[in-house]
Structure 1
Amino acid sequence: MGQRHYETVVGAQIMLKKAESLERMVALVGESELSPENQLLYKRAKKLKNFMTQSFYVAEEQTGRKGVYVPLKDTVEGVAAIITGKYDQIPDTRFMFIGRAEEATNG
């Protein structure tokens, strides 16, 4: 595992952990009641979770979706781009069942 990969994994884990701690508040009062900083973090975490629904070959039978091969480098770059806000203007639902993150921009 290279340095970029390691830093991206740690960044993703931190983001997901923080978002998890916000979920109860969001369930009670709604996302709009979060601070702007927490809203941004929560939205990016939703994109990240959705991005992790990549269609794997081993899940074809269960999901009915054709599996795709995505090189590790592309997945790491996609996660890093989500964490840093490259896709902030893209709805989180566009990250469901895609291979590479840039596919979310094809609309």
Structure 2
Amino acid sequence: MIFHEKDIRLSPFSETPVWGWGIIDHPLLNFVLELMYGIFCWWYFKGNKNLLIVIVVFNIMDLPLMLGHGDMLKPLEQYPYILPSFILFQILNTWYFIWRYSR
């Protein structure tokens, strides 16, 4: 909820209330908070060095999407399945690297 836009509904049948802090509107703050959250989780669960590298690299890979604006985002508007596909791809990669390096 911290990172999400202010559009999370409690029910699909209701327009209000909506949840989300909208930090996505502040891309650098969003990047720093997501990176710090990833590092905190790595520290809390006692991850190894390779897992920390994966967390940092994946967050840096997200930076162009976070900083994107204007015409740069046109492909996402024209093809709405690109972003969810990218997110799914990244989730699956993250699970793989966590499985591989958390042993």
Q: What TM-score results when the alignment is normalised by the length of structure 2?
A: 0.36
Larger Rg: 2
Task: Report the TM-score when normalising by structure 1.
Answer: 0.35
